[in-house]
Amino acid sequence: MSQGEEDETAIGRVLDGETTAFSAIVERWQGPLINLAYRFCRDRGRAEDMAQEAFIRAFRGLKSWRREAAFSTWLFALATNVYRDEMRKFAPVSVPMDENVAAEGSEEEAADEADRRRLVHNAVQSLPPKYRDPVLLFYFHDQNIAATARSLRLREGTVKARLSRGRALLESKLSSRL
Amino acid sequence: MKSEDIDQVLANEREVAPSPDFLASVMRAVRREATSLPPLKFPWRRALPGFLATFVALARTIWDLVNFLRDAASYAVIKEQLDHLAALAAGFGLQWILLAAVVTLISLALSLKLVGGRHYLS
């Protein structure tokens, strides 16, 4: 039985009133949903809270899943929506990238791989949400534009344009680093 | 930092493993959700007579008002009373009351816009 069919079977049971069958869904998708949440908030505990909220919303809205799209597509779009809302609710006061990087330390430190990662992630977090979200989703979906567009419920052309602009902003923020 | 370096960092994100009790925690929340009572529906059937009565009363009031205003004598009486009210209002400094109301509305709208949070997003 394929993963999609297993999802469908479990959802059918949940919709018939067997709540415990939802655990199969959580078990299968907890990793991807927590990892996606982590890309948004960069905090493990908060990522789990956000993923839990996404699962609860999925449970509530299972009836609205139209079976013409894969369950995973529906689930990622729902989770993305939840995460964006959560980030909007508790948005940090935006820190200009230059200040952020200046606080990171010396050039030697910046040469370190961990610091390089931190620089890039800080730069992504400092992007406006309009560009941040396509960048996060694009790399989460293994650089698949179509999957990114489905998760964001946007047209592929729009995603490509925002991604291009987002990457250009990232490059300009990071061009003088390392 | 070059574009390829950025790609390399973002494409090789470290994986976060769910904590051992995550599944149990979600299922507890899901069971709570399943056993909680659904939100109360609006009692349309019970409210319908009230809505109908309100609609009839409103229609009747508008009908009476239109008929009343069609009559020239009634119109003259209303105009006289409105003039009297305007004179009274001028005595109370109506223009200042209106100015205060406008200033209050502007400051309220400005406060709501400022706490709306949009300025944090970009």
A26 CB neighbours in chain B (<8 A) are 23, 26-27, 30
The sign one gets for the Cα dihedral B5, B11, B14, B19 is positive
What spatial distance separates the first Cα and last Cα of chain A, rounded to whole Å? 49
As for how many domains chain B has, the answer is 1
B120 CB neighbours in chain A (<8 A) are 91, 93-94
User: Does any domain span residue B23?
Assistant: yes
Residue B101, both tokens: 């109301």
User: Does any domain span residue B103?
Assistant: yes
Taking an 8 Å cut-off on Cβ atoms, the answer to whether B11 and A178 are in contact is no
User: Does any domain span residue B10?
Assistant: no
Helix axes B3-11, A156-174, angle to 10 degrees: 110
pLDDT attached to residue A95:
45
pTM of the model: 0.67
Cα–Cα distances in Å, from A165 out to A52, A65, A161, A169, A171?
A: 32, 32, 6, 6, 10
ipTM of the assembly? 0.80
Taking an 8 Å cut-off on Cβ atoms, the answer to whether A52 and B34 are in contact is no
pLDDT above 90 (res A138): yes
Best to test chain B binding among A135, A174, A178 (most B CBs inside 10 Å): A174
Q: Name the band, by pLDDT with cuts 50, 70 and 90, for residue A101.
A: very low
User: Does any domain span residue B64?
Assistant: yes
Q: Provide the domain limits for residue B53.
A: 16-120
User: Does any domain span residue B1?
Assistant: no
What is d(CA A59, CA B33) in angstroms, rounded to the nearest whole number?
Answer: 9
Taking an 8 Å cut-off on Cβ atoms, the answer to whether B11 and A139 are in contact is yes
Domains of chain A plus CATH, in order, are 1-91 (1.10.1740.10), 93-178 (1.10.10.10)
